[in-house]
Structure 1
Amino acid sequence: MADLLASEQLMRFSGIIDTALTQQKELLHSPDKRKSDQPLRSFSVREVSHFLRVKYNSLRQYLNTLEGMPPGTTETGNRKYYTAEEVNQILEVLLEEGKIGLERFPRRQPGDPQARLVVYNLKGGVSKTSLSANLAQILALQGYRILVVDLDPQASFSDMFDIQADVDDLPSIYDVLKYEDHATGTGPISITEAIQGTYVPNIDIVPGSMSMTEFEFETSASFRAGADATPFHRRISDALETVDEFYDLVLFDTPPHLSFAVISAVFAATGMLIPLSAGMLDVVSLAKFLELAAGTMQVVEQHQDKRYDFIRFVLTRYSASDPAQLQLSSFLRSHLGGAMLKHDFVSSTAIADAGNTMNPLLEVDPSSFHRKTYDRIFGSLSGIADEVDAEIMKSWGRTPFVREES
């Protein structure tokens, strides 16, 4: 090892880890080679009733009496289960039959702007990607057509959905945002060429890649050269115009550092969700982060005004049984008021175990956990999704739906 250059040593370790991870993933997903070789699990009638916000007994009746309802699959104990595709089919039938209103149908109507949510905090370790992935899956099952833009060069969100641009030589968000190279005649591609479908209906991804670091250098170079190109802060919003009609929600997963790509996402977004770990050091960092973010937006606003439909904070890795965290939660809610989500992303073994297998919660068999543990974290994530849904509904001029108890 001592005879190797530093770059060679680091690359050797990178290769070792990559190989080991590939073997581990194949072991986890055996007999399949990749996670995406198998579909998303099916859901019970009770789970479907929760996603679609319809009372359990009412939904059972609708499934048995309304025409056009999917058959589902009968499993052990004579229980019916429905795939994610069937959940969306149920949603469509319920709307057509007048059993639900537009407040429970999260599809844009004529004149509704595309909702764009950036999950944003410059501090690492606040569960941005885990929150984004779980939030995307729940909102997709509620009916949102979602495009995720993964801006993190580490591409952890893309990895969770088994999309690896660097490994499989796929176009990434970098190929959409990059600048024209007059020497080679190459330039950015349409975002439609970079979008990858996933095994979760209603979720498409523009994957991240290590190439995103090059975008930062190219943007700096464009300043020095005075290049006549789309300003960096408009590159994402301009790219999204091509697919505006196909998605109800665009979700940006961001890296834990300020970059030109992050600023472009912050500019393109219509709403912001700021995850915050329940620790005093994180609150101190938050104050500095918000000051920096405000200064950044002031620079952008010299070119164009920017307003958000909402900015909300959410506590992550939260344990109500921890007196210090409970005190901090009260402190934040007393000062930030309604800007704090009512639901917290709670600390749980279910999330930790799911993270170890690169699975969002809905991909885990509930029976593999203690029922109370699973229900607690599911209630936490579902509550966050409901609050985000309510903000989007308000931006579309609809009265948010208050969840019915089953």
Structure 2
Amino acid sequence: MGATAKPIVSIDATVKHTPMRIALEDIEIISEHANETLLTVREQMLLPHPKKHAPVFSTSRLASLCRMDRKKVNYYWEKADLGLPQGTILPRTREFTLVEAREWVRKVGPFPARPAGVKGKKIAIGNFKGGVTKTTSAMTLAQGLSLFGRRVLLVDLDPQASLSALNGVIADSEVSDDQTILPLIYGEQSSLEYAIQSTYWDGIDLIPASASLFGAEFYLPFKQSKDSNFRFWDVLNAGLEPLLDKYDAIIIDTPPALSYVTINAFMAADGLVVPIPPNALDYASSTQFWSLFTDLARSMKKIVPDLEKQFDFIHVLLTKVDSSQIATNKVREWITSSYDSLVLPIEIPTTTVTTTASMEFGTVYDISKYEGSNKTYQRAREAYDRFAEMIDQQITSLWSAEVESNVAEVA
């Protein structure tokens, strides 16, 4: 466990109702204290391990991942030619690591592999309002896709670095500027290969973020003002392009603002997912998102008249759905009416499972065995599984269409 954090500034308890003056240079003390406390909290939440560990899978859960019944799993155990991992034998079952489970999925699961010569897809998770589970949606989508055998890269573009934290990486103490997208932004690198790091979760790599990403918001417009040929909106796309042969999906978590970095993410993305909780304020905010997005599109066409940008898909995802709230049904109707076919037929519920996992710097996928109601856990887990499966189906459909197009061109 980390050392107890030092107090920020002592306060005289005998002085009542008097605000405490804080000098500008003392902001650093607050920052240091907060970071020390965060490290301590993380270690306490992750006990007995100071770092995150992937979950393990029972035989039943392995069968579910491979979309087969348990008897079929027993049948495949006997087929030595497949070379499937045998797991660890326990008194009443077997236990499989994430690495072992993913190998089973790849070898005997029903999910088609990415065709040779076809590149991975880039998906941005975006909303200009915070607190809509944007980061959780990015992380769970990556985890869900990995359980279909996909190789996924997570790109954290938010200076708050919440996605990095979900991967067990604390930004200000464990991430240097050279490990973020900044060297690409500054023109020191042409590919983001340098920033990729492995994570605790097999099949998922990460490009982390830190507070220093705010620097990109000053540099990009400055460079554009000095060089009219500088494509400020295409920097991220150019840096990700060399990685598309390596990954089936690249998932980009964006800042909750229409920033230069967000513009880069949207212009790079093949698909866009917009999480919206069904409450009145978030719904109202979402309409502003689309208005600002429209303004952005118009501005980009003025800057680059011949610019052609198409999204393979845009989806609205209902998140933090609490059906016990009277207003939920009404706001759901507003959202469905507003966005029609863009709304995914999936809702991510608010449950004690998701709340508990979030407090422990994790998601529902990080839980090996839930101690509470199995019905509650299944409700939360199945919603995320359906979300990931629907996105995976669209990705594989796009791959198939690309293969057919290539064949037609050759013919």
Q: TM-score, normalised by structure 2?
A: 0.86
Cα distance change of structure 1 residues 281 and 168 upon mapping to structure 2, 3 Å threshold: closer
Q: 1:189 to 1:394 in 2, by over 3 A?
A: closer
1:214–1:227: structure 2 CA closer, same or farther, 3 Å change rule? farther
Q: Within 5 Å, give how 1:204-353 maps onto structure 2.
A: 204-226=205-227, 229=230, 231-301=231-301, 302-353=305-356
Residue 86 of structure 2 corresponds to 71
Aligned pair 1:127/2:133, yes or no?
yes
Mind listing any 5+ residue stretches in structure 1 that lack a counterpart?
181-186, 400-406
Q: Which of 10, 31, 35 pairs up with 1:14?
A: 31
Distance change in 2, residues 1:281/1:31 (3 Å): closer
Runs of 5+ unmatched residues, structure 2: 1-8, 10-18, 403-411
Q: Deviations over 1:319-360 (max 9, x none)?
A: 223232123223433453332111111101111111111012
Q: Does 1:178 align with 2:193?
A: no
Deviation of the 1:93 alpha carbon: 2.5
Pairwise CA RMSD: 2.3
CA distance in 2, matches of 1:279, 1:148: 28
**Letter of the structure 1 residue corresponding to residue 85 of structure 2:** P
Cα displacement (A) at 1:176: 3.7
Please report how far the alpha carbon of residue 116 of structure 1 lies from its aligned counterpart in structure 2 after TM superposition.
0.8
CA displacement, residues 25-76 of structure 1 (integer Å, 9 cap, x when unaligned)? 22233343x324xx3121122222333333444334323446311111122x
| Separation in structure 1 between the aligned mates of residue 335 and residue 175 of structure 2, nearest angstrom | 44
Match of 1:41 among 46, 55, 77: 55
Distance of 1:160 and 1:267 partners within structure 2: 25
Q: State how far apart, in whole Å, the 2-side matches of 1:360 and 1:86 are.
A: 20
Shift of 1:270: 0.5
Report the identity percentage.
Answer: 27
Name the residue aligned to 1:403.
Answer: none
Give 1:227 deviation, angstroms. Answer: 6.1
Alignment partners' CA distance in 2, 1:4 and 1:385: 49
Residues 362-390 of structure 1 show CA distances to partners (whole Å, capped at 9, x for unaligned) of 21243322111111100111111111112
Rate the CA distance shift 1:353–1:22 in 2: closer, same or farther, 3 A.
same
1:24 matched to 2:33? The reply is: no
Q: Residues 259-293 of structure 1: CA distance to partner in whole angstroms, max 9, x if unpaired?
A: 11111110111001100011122222111211211
Which amino acid in structure 1 is aligned with residue 209 of structure 2? G
CA distance in 1, matches of 2:37, 2:127: 31
**Pairing 1:109–2:115 present:** yes
Change in Cα spacing, 1:5 to 1:284, as seen in structure 2 (3 Å) is closer
Counterpart CA distance in 2 for 1:313 and 1:176 is 32
Structure 2 distance, partners of 1:375, 1:7, is: 49
Alignment of 1:79-118 (within 5 A): 79-94=93-108, 100=110, 104-105=111-112, 107-118=113-124
How many Å separate the matches in 2 of 1:336 and 1:60? 46
Task: Tell me the equivalent position of 1:184.
Answer: none
Contact residue 350 and residue 377 of structure 1 kept, 8 A: yes
The amino acid of 1:9's aligned partner reads D
Larger radius of gyration: 2
State whether residues 45 and 60 of structure 1, in contact with CA within 8 Å, keep that contact through their aligned partners in structure 2.
Answer: no
Distance 2:294 2:74 in 1: 49
2:145 matches 1:139: yes
Cα distance change of structure 1 residues 358 and 393 upon mapping to structure 2, 3 Å threshold: same
1:156 Cα deviation after fit: 0.6
Rounded Cα–Cα distance in structure 2 between residues aligned with 1:196 and 1:350: 29
Flag the 1:82–1:398 CA change in 2: closer, same or farther, 3 A: farther
SS at 2:233 equivalent: helix
The whole-number CA distance in structure 2 between the counterparts of 1:313 and 1:169 is: 32
Change (3 A) 1:63 1:295: farther
Alpha-carbon distance in structure 2 between the residues aligned to 1:13 and 1:265: 32
Does 369-378 or 327-336 show the bigger shift?
A: 327-336
Q: Distance in 2 between matches of 1:327 and 1:26?
A: 42
Q: How many residues are aligned here? A: 380
Letter in 2 for 1:193: Y
Partner of 2:384: 381
The 3 A distance-change label for structure 1 pair 398 and 35 is farther
**How big is the shift at 1:303?**
4.6
Task: Return the offset for 1:168.
Answer: 2.6
Structure 2 Cα separation of the partners of residues 320 and 359 of structure 1: 24
In structure 2, the residue matched to 1:402 is none
Displacement of 1:88:
2.0
Tell me the TM-score normalized by structure 1.
0.87
Change (3 A) 1:60 1:304: farther
Aligned position for 2:13: none
What is the deviation of 1:304? 1.8
Give, in whole Å, the separation in 2 of the partners of 1:325 and 1:41. Answer: 33
Aligned: 1:58 with 2:72: yes
Query: Which residue of the partner structure matches residue 168 of structure 1?
Result: 174
| CA distance, structure 2, for counterparts of residue 367 and residue 345 of structure 1 | 18
Q: Give the Cα separation in 1 of the matches to 2:26 and 2:396.
A: 52
